[in-house]
Amino acid sequence: MDSEMLEKAWEEVCSQVKGYNNIDPTQINAFFSRLHPQAMSEGFLMLTADNDFIKTWIERHYVEVIKQALNDLYQIPYTVVIEVDVTAAQPNVQAPTAASAQQPAQVSHPTANAAAPQLAADATAAAAATAQITPPAAQPLSANTVVSSASAVPEVEPFGSSSNQVYPDPIRDDRSPYATSADVDEMGKPTSSLTFENFVIGDSNRMAYSMAVAVAEMPGKAHLNPLFIYGKSGLGKTHLMRAIQNYIIETLPHLTTIYVDSAELLSDYMEASAAHDKEKSSYKNFKTRYEDADVLLIDDVQYLQGKKQTLDIVFQIFNKLTSQGKQVVLSADRAPKNIDIDERYKSRFNSGGTFDIQPPEIETKLGIVKSFVEEYKLNEGIHELSIPDDIQLYIAESSSSNIRELKSAVTKVIYQMTFFNQPDLSLDDVRHLLESHFSGGPSKRLTIADIQKEVENFYKISHAELIGKKRTRNIIYARQIGIYLCRQMLDLPFNDIGKQFNRDHSTVMYSVTNVEEKMKESRELREELEALKQLIREI
């Protein structure tokens, strides 16, 4: 099969997959664009992926769907083999079309009735015939936070002081709004410390990380334009935004890249429009600055809700850039559908790739702690500094999902060990040092009242309505969600939950079962519940 026929057949398979129930076409566009057909014959299809993560994700979640699509199209069962082609996503891509240069190899394959061992052998031979394919390289763990050198001894009191001392945070803010000469050094290298190399990857952020890398390598691809990353404060959204900016500055220096926080954008717009004359140079310069960007990154767009004029301007700029194939990246602390803005903005924000960052699991937080300590040792030249494993684990387990709180706790311990000459801090010492530091973690005992309050705020109903007798649709919905979350997050008996909602055992059981059934069918409900859980965890 020649390359043109092969590409056409793959397009038909993709279209078939997107037509199935419970398949999100946006996700298919995002992932399948990272797959490239290499060989196809009767009962056999070989694909290559840009990296090992994409390969593994497709194998776990979509291989059976691809097989089903092939079966439906050609009426015979297919074997699908996926390998990694590391040349398809080189880190120093110089042009958006670089990945399209690879040519598929023609590989013959016996019919689908061949024995399984023979299929495996032929798949291996097919892989060998494709010259570009090499085994996947292991991805090293990298840090989500970076420490910069402290210029002077901080003004803090010795361990055991009774005052509520605020310790300085040695982490750079990295929020300068524009990629001007201030963002690069004399060699043209980015000055911001937030890069892909020092981002700790875990299950909670792997998807968003992978899509951010895809955009940085090849900005402007339609299926990821815009790229929308969302998650609660302190989970690493700004890190990924800055990493995209830095990667493009370094590898594609001919592109104009602008990063701006929505607060900066709003202030910039207010200053530019203060003269109320759109012919004035200040206003023209404001709009031109953004419209001339090849890559525009806007952080924390939820702060633009209620700012109609600014949103209108952003929407105009957004549409102009994306229509020209220029890349837009947005971030927020919630999904587009949960931002209180006009429906047309939500639809456009959601039209590319939308990916969330979940609160980090213990392993990821521990990885961040270790990377933080190593970075500090490197920056300060204190190679003998060592924080015992039990103290590192205590910090990871006790901190909330906010990485800034985690960094601050490590900083506090480091300063105590170094500036106050207490290198042998014990775990009990650290517990005492950080006893008032953490806002959440295991020390916080969650209650039914906590969950009820967050549900009431989220769905904008009163406590009396939540536990009362009203049966309007929105109240019943919120009540069942509250009951479900109490059961799942607190693992309390149905009777105990029922007493707090003025309901009996059977009503509570029905509510939980009903929500569980709806979750199976609704991705939006699953996202909504996850957003609520995040709010509750951060109480």
Residues at the binding site for ATP are 234, 236-238
Question: At which residue do the structure tokens 């927020």 appear?
Answer: 332
CA 331 to CA 356: how far, in whole Å? 10
Write the CA distances from 202 to 215, 308, 367, integer angstroms.
19, 37, 9
- Quote the CA–CA distance of 176 and 180 in Å, as a whole number: 9
Residues 149, 151, 152, CA angle at the centre, nearest 5°?
130
**Stretch (H or E) spanning 45:** strand 44-49
Burial call 506-521: b when 16+ CB within 10 Å, e when fewer? ebbbebbeebeebeee
- Give the DSSP per-residue string, 375-404: HHHHHHT-TT----HHHHHHHHHHS-S-HH
The token duo for 25 is 């076409």
φ, ψ at 495 (rounded to 5°): -65, -45
Tell me how far apart the alpha carbons of residues 459 and 475 are, in angstroms, rounded to a whole number: 8
Q: Going by C-beta distance under 8 Å and a sequence separation of 6 or more, which residues neighbour residue 317? A: 287, 290, 291, 296
Query: Could you give the CA distance from residue 42 to residue 509 in angstroms, rounded to a whole number?
Result: 51
DSSP-assigned letter for residue 351: S
Interatomic CA distance for residues 417 and 412, integer angstroms: 9
What is the rounded distance in angstroms from the CA atom of residue 279 to the CA atom of residue 141?
51
Q: Is 187 exposed, middle or buried (0-12, 13-18, 19+ CB in 10 A)?
A: exposed
Omega prior to 360 cis, within 30 of 0? no
Distances (CA, A) of 193 to 15, 172, 259, 362, 436: 41, 8, 14, 24, 30
Sheet strands side by side (includes 79-84): 35-41, 44-49, 79-84
CA distance 245 to 256: 10
Give the span between the Cα atoms of 182 and 328, in whole angstroms: 22
Pick out the residues of the known binding site: 234, 236-238
Whose tokens are 């049966």? That residue is: 471
How open is the CA angle 45-49-50, to the nearest 5 degrees?
160
